[in-house]
Structure 1
Amino acid sequence: MGYIEDLRALVGTRALILTGVTVLVIDQNSRFLMVQSDKLWKLPGGFIELGESAEEACRREILEETGINIGNLQLIGVFSGKDYFTKLPNGDEYFPVNIAYVTEEILSGDLKPDDIEIQKVQFFKWSSFPKDLTERDRQIFQSFIENLILEGRKGLK
């Protein structure tokens, strides 16, 4: 069993604080990588494992979910609080602390979903990516855009 499963065996469905990562992967054509899980498109990521750094978790999750290896990571922000409370269909509750990163370095690999958690993996242009984002992903994109503006970078293609 994993760390979260071990905790659940002790506390049942009571609310936990869980730390996870999300990665905004941008390819050379300024497209954003999204994964489809349970018919919902979202940014790739997952929970940090015991002893793992946030950056290591990013690289592991991206490789597991999408089949690609990524390079340099830049922090977008940390997202947490009561607005992120999650209750899963099985009754498990948690408050996530989500650390979001962006990378434009795709080092190797071929896009391929894991077919366990992820059914599809696809790059989307800014003008055509799925609009029905989770609140978490919407806030990550908003913070990313605000950072672009503050840095004085040109808009996305």
Structure 2
Amino acid sequence: MMGYIQNIRKKIGHDRLIAVGAGVFVYKDGKVLLQKRRDNLCWALHGGVVEIGEVVENAAKRELLEETGLIAGKLELLGVFSGDNRMYTYPNGDEVYIIGIIYICRDFAGELLPKTDETVELKWFDIDDLPKEISPLNVVPMQAFVDYIKRTNP
């Protein structure tokens, strides 16, 4: 089934569009699970665009399952991210402004997928030793996540 964004792209090409994204940081035992994205080869949280009529939290859980194989239980809202730093041009030329609704997941089950159509690698990182190559849309949410974890889990 073709998603909303793919359908719109057929009509507007690479022009900038506004989208709502749902993302998840998976956290356990002082480590965060990140994915290396296939499109820009940067490390990122798990997430994607909310489809029309989809509950945002369900979109976050769906994206987590698709990208990692993990089934999310309870999600905790980290925050809503918007502003100039949410403009992005994908390597294929598609321009977006993504309002990101980001969650933390500590309650999950399942087996990690080795890779998917969107990811080349999944890896657990110590919260104090994160990679330098963070996907641009994830820089601000990543800092907010680290700050929150350090503040609430001394």
Find the partner of 2:52 among 50, 53, 72.
50
1:96-154 residue CA offsets vs partner (Å, 9 max, x unmatched): 11111112111x210114421111112111233212223432311322344456xx633
Whole-Å separation in 2 of the counterparts to 1:104 and 1:80: 24
Q: For residue 102 of structure 2, what is the aligned residue in structure 1?
A: 100
- Tell me, yes or no, if structure 1 residue 131 matches structure 2 residue 132: yes
- Tell me, yes or no, if structure 1 residue 79 matches structure 2 residue 81: yes
Count matched residues: 151
Whole-Å separation in 2 of the counterparts to 1:64 and 1:113: 12
Amino acid of the structure 1 residue aligned with 2:23: T
Q: For residue 123 of structure 2, what is the aligned residue in structure 1?
A: 122
SS at match of 1:130: coil
* Greater than 4 Å deviation, 4+ residue runs: none
Whole-Å separation in 2 of the counterparts to 1:20 and 1:113: 24
| Cα pair distance change 1:130/1:58, threshold 3 Å | same
SS at match of 1:25: strand
Q: Which structure 2 segments of 5+ residues have no match?
A: none
SS at match of 1:119: strand
Q: For residue 67 of structure 1, what is the aligned residue in structure 2?
A: 69
**For the Cα contact (< 8 Å) 1:65–1:113, is it kept in 2?**
no
Amino acid of the structure 1 residue aligned with 2:110: G
SS at match of 1:133: coil
Whole-Å separation in 1 of the counterparts to 2:149 and 2:93: 39
| Cα pair distance change 1:153/1:85, threshold 3 Å | closer
* RMSD, aligned α-carbons: 1.8
SS at match of 2:91: coil
Q: Which structure 1 segments of 5+ residues have no match?
A: none
Identity of aligned residues (%): 34
Q: For residue 143 of structure 2, what is the aligned residue in structure 1?
A: 142
Whole-Å separation in 1 of the counterparts to 2:31 and 2:23: 16
TM-score by length of 2: 0.87
| Cα pair distance change 1:128/1:87, threshold 3 Å | same
Whole-Å separation in 2 of the counterparts to 1:148 and 1:26: 9
Q: For residue 153 of structure 2, what is the aligned residue in structure 1?
A: 154
Q: Which has the larger radius of gyration?
A: 1
Whole-Å separation in 2 of the counterparts to 1:88 and 1:136: 11
**For the Cα contact (< 8 Å) 1:24–1:103, is it kept in 2?**
yes
Whole-Å separation in 2 of the counterparts to 1:33 and 1:143: 16
